[in-house]
Structure 1
Amino acid sequence: MKIGILDDKKEVFSRDVLNKLKEKGYQVEYVWFGYQRIPTKSDYRVIFDRQSMYDEFLRAIMKVLSLNGTYVINNPFSNICDDKLIELNLCQSLGIPYPKTLVLPKENVEYDMSQEIVLTDVKDILPELKFPLVMKPHDGYAWKDVYEVNTPEELDKLYRSLRDEYTILVQEKIEPKLMYRAYSIGHEKVILVRYDPSSRRYLEDDYSQIKGLLPKIEEWTKRLNEVLDYDLNSVEWMIDQNNQAYLIDAFNEVPEILPESIPRRYYDELVNSVAELIEKIFHSDKHNRWPFDYPP
């Protein structure tokens, strides 16, 4: 049995994981896929997948391989939960703090849904929220189409411009003192890295400013990823001026891990931890969690 890496060969992180596993004597290689017979099986015990989220064909193949004995990191079925409404409901269930949030309906430009969907008049939601606000798509990724809104007029204008494209989340903005990305590996390990959104760089940190919060952030991060069944994820935490932690993003199916932006000690720990996770799964009989009953 082999280990496969599904990623662009130019990506340094996956290449470093591949080399780390090769140093330990494993047969590891980049994988590619053409036409497939169904059911599809392979001689890969584990595939480290950092590409299928971008391609429908690859995602379908990862799901079929998962059903037939290959363990895929991340679980290709977990992305059915990947939207921020589910994220916030999970937070509510797990007792994880998150910003006050409203969801605004999308305008259906293809079918007449005017009897079923009432588009929001922003005047109706002003008593619910305090400015400044953050607007973003309910299924957004990273920082794409995320806006800060400071007045009712801005809110109305932006909602009108976006509502034919997105279901919109409106959240009260957390005034940040600190921001961290918590990398969760295998539901068991958390590597917490301070992040500066203004420069989009990671910083060294001794955690002295969040000493009391650190165990709780680690516990919440592990529990969330256990529920989601993500083996590798980065969860974004914002610490406000009162030293209260808020989860602001729970889903990063392919977390950004760049050696040029992450301090070396964190980067090396991430490479080693992911390689150890793959090695552990390789020697187990574990399979991905499926959203339906399927005989392994």
Structure 2
Amino acid sequence: MTEHPGEQAGREASMADVEHTIGLLLGTEDDWPRAYEGLLRRLGTVGGPDGRTHRVRSVRVTIEPFNLRYRPRHDLVIDRLAYWYYHPREWLKKISLMDDVYLLNSPFTFQSMEKHAAYCAMMRLGLKVPETVLVPYKNPLDNSRWAYTSARYNQSFDLDATAAGVGYPMYMKPYDGGAWVGVSKIRDPAELHAAYDASGERLMHLQAAVEDYDVFARSLTIGPETMVMKFRPELPMHDRYAVSHDFLTAPVGDEVVTISRLINAFFRWEFNSCESLIRGADVHPIDYANACPDVAVTSLHYYFPWAMTALLRWTVFCVVTGRRPRLDLDTSAYFAIADDPGLDYRQKLAAYRRLADDYFDIDRYQEFCDKHLSHVDAMVYDWVMSEEFRSLLRETVRAAYPVHEHERFLAHFGGLVDAWARDHG
């Protein structure tokens, strides 16, 4: 059969296409996955540095038995589940160790370097983490060896004296916790003992409070992009992120960004949030090991389009350029800076920033976005203005709030997204 020249050209073009698969390992969330999937469909094909065209698709990962020698179809996996569900965590370890699948985030460091180890590492680097003490369990563990070990080796300690060394007020918080579960503000010895008695078998930190702070900043970092947001923890979740663009001075804002990227590069966390308290010119990171940072449209609202844009750009960059996973931690390079007596705090931050920028390949990423993804901002704007997005918002509100609050919250979130559209149109 004779092939028409147009058919031959189409076949050759198809053969030149490269297809990539991104896995979404999900828990209960559905809003941002739908958004991400919709944007990937709109993206279509993109060019690459190799001169070929690339198509990126996403699939939702299912949980089932897996042979350790099977070959996955994924080039990259966005993990939002393995921080608490261990079966998929072990799957992530297998596909990264054996198959070089790129992961957001590293399951190895999130398991071995939870909040406690993260505090230790960043204290070593000289960040202004508040004074922190780890106290033993209040109640015995359910372990047959506990009684013998405890009787022979556990030292009795004075909780009041330990707390006095930290200073009131302070917070008692789980060493590996999340979502503010088990966190208590301690103002006096009575509250100290009540919180410790209630901690049971949870291992707890005592951490000094940063009183009279000026700003609570929450920075969301996706790959090399960071959005620093003014956070108001005392308000309901739908009101916690304030739409404010000038709440930090330029030097302090840059320091928050540097700390956020430093933490992510150090631990190989590429989809993570960092909480910092700013008092005067001092930035105090207080929580920055967040395996599943909040990206819900009902939380981020105004900032939701930015998060989806950053996630789209970074994941597409990684798979199209063949970015290789780096499971090893180059801690010695960071510690060499930390231990250099000739560098002051600012100089160390600048050196850490260079290491982080190198890890995230900032220049190459920006060049790729400028050349191959320059249309993405306009594409995201059109999507936010589309019925597809409004339908997603309506369905998310109806699923999250009782019927009598639907109209209120649709107006609330719709107004905030409209504000984003006015600012970016």
TM-score by length of 1: 0.90
SS in 2 for 1:54: coil
- Cα gap change, 1:233/1:213 in structure 2, threshold over 3 Å: closer, same or farther? same
Give 1:277's match in structure 2, choosing from 314, 325, 328: 314
Correspondence for 2:80 among 41, 50, 56: 50
Read off the aligned partner of 1:252 and give its amino acid letter.
Answer: N
Q: Deviations over 1:166-216 (max 9, x none)?
A: 221111111232111111121x22111111101132111123443331111
Asked whether 1:23 is paired with 2:42, we answer yes
Q: CA deviation at 1:10?
A: 4.9
| Structure 1 stretch displaced more, 142-151 or 169-178 | 169-178
Contiguous gaps of at least 5 residues in structure 2? 1-19, 45-55, 330-425
Instruction: State yes or no: 1:194 paired with 2:233.
Output: no
CA contact (8 A) 2:163 2:206 kept: no
What is the alpha-carbon root mean square deviation over aligned residues? 2.0
- Which deviates more, 96-105 or 119-128? 119-128
Q: Per residue, is there more helix in 1 or in 2? A: 2
Higher relative contact order (CA 8 A, sep 6+): 1
Could you give the per-residue CA deviations for residues 82-128 of structure 1, whole angstroms, max 9, x where no partner exists?
A: 42221221221222111111111125333122322224322322441
Percent of aligned pairs with the same residue? 20
Stretch of structure 1 that moved more, 57-66 or 73-82 = 73-82
Give the 3 Å change call, closer, same or farther, for CA 117–289 of structure 1 in structure 2: farther
Distance change in 2, residues 1:291/1:105 (3 Å):
farther
Q: Note the residue ranges of structure 1 that are not aligned, 5 or more in a row.
A: none
Amino acid at match of 2:25: L
Pick the aligned partner of 1:108 from 140, 154, 169: 140
The residue correspondences of 1:1-296 to structure 2 (distance < 5 A) are 1-8=20-27, 10-25=29-44, 26-67=56-97, 68-106=99-137, 107-109=139-141, 110=143, 111-112=146-147, 113-162=150-199, 164-175=200-211, 176-186=213-223, 188-199=224-235, 200=237, 201-240=240-279, 242-264=280-302, 266-290=303-327
Alpha-carbon shift at residue 291 of structure 1 (Å) = 5.0
Give the secondary-structure state (helix, strand or coil) at the position aligned to 1:77.
helix
Work out whether residues 22 and 75 of structure 2, in 8 Å CA contact, stay in contact via their aligned partners in 1: yes
Q: 1:17 to 1:119 in 2, by over 3 A?
A: farther
CA distance 1:120–1:287, change in 2 (3 Å) = farther
Query: What is the alpha-carbon distance in structure 1 between the residues aligned to residue 301 and residue 257 of structure 2?
Result: 20
State the secondary structure of the residue aligned to 2:264: helix
Query: Which residue does 2:346 correspond to in 1?
Result: none
Structure whose CA Rg is larger: 2
| Cα distance, 1:197–1:116 mapped onto 2, change above 3 Å | same
Q: What is the aligned residue count?
A: 288
Counterpart contact for 1:9–1:15, Cα < 8 Å: no
Higher strand share: 1
